[in-house]
Amino acid sequence: MDKSSERLVHVFHGVHEHHLALAGKSVLEAKTRLPYRLPYFAHAIVNDKPVLVHHILRGGDLLTFLRPPAFKAATGRKPSAKAEAQGLLSAYPALADLARTIQQEADDGGWDSHKTIEMMTVRFARWCEDHFGPFTKAVLPTLDEIVRQATRLRTRAALSLPGRSPKKPGRRNTTAELADFAEARHPARTWKEIADEWNDNHPDQKKKNDQKVRDAWRRRYGSKSMPSKKSRGEG
């Protein structure tokens, strides 16, 4: 067998079909190397088994990218953020399970609604990045909509429980919350953009600048690689 053919992976998406030298590459690398642009919310199946974007391909693998059926929209039109969020929650029960887990942690820890929503944003963002790849600004509205819908469903369920009284909020750890806030928006937004949004959401707190945001993120998520200022759009 030709050595080059041993590296070939059979790739399908919709009507497209290719044999590409992707052995030893991750699914995420394959997704970005295809000669056509894939939708962000297209998950990978290798040899009939769903995999995460960090999965390493081998020669002879059959790689298929699929979008959830609920994502289908009118011909030529992109689904709205609301439709995409509904499609994700419908297609992936793990997202609803994740929301319930976070709510249980919120109940046990006495979190207030702000912290609960922030943690949902962070966890949902990580889940999506594991399944579909790094965020772009175009995807953030769908993430926000997923959190909104999950939070709304959680609130309705809580209100239906008889005799339940809300717990008092626990002590706030502003630095940790700022880091989680930044992680949910990193790297699609610059540190300054994240700082501006934080300040808008917390008018009663001392203003944070881009350095404060970066330092908080570094302390909590310092094991991750830090992109250059240029790649973050900061000159």
**What tens digit of pLDDT does each residue of 19-28 get?**
999 999 999 9
Give the dihedral of Cα atoms 225, 195, 84, 61; nearest 10 deg.
-10
Residue 161 scores a pLDDT above 60: no
According to the model, what pLDDT value does residue 108 have? 86
Model pTM?
0.64
What tens digit of pLDDT does each residue of 109-122 get?
888 888 888 888 88
Q: How far apart are CA 197 and CA 164, in angstroms?
A: 34
More confident residue, 24 or 160: 24
Residue with tokens 């190397």: 33
Between CA 146 and CA 81 the distance in angstroms is 9
Radius of gyration of the chain (CA): 20
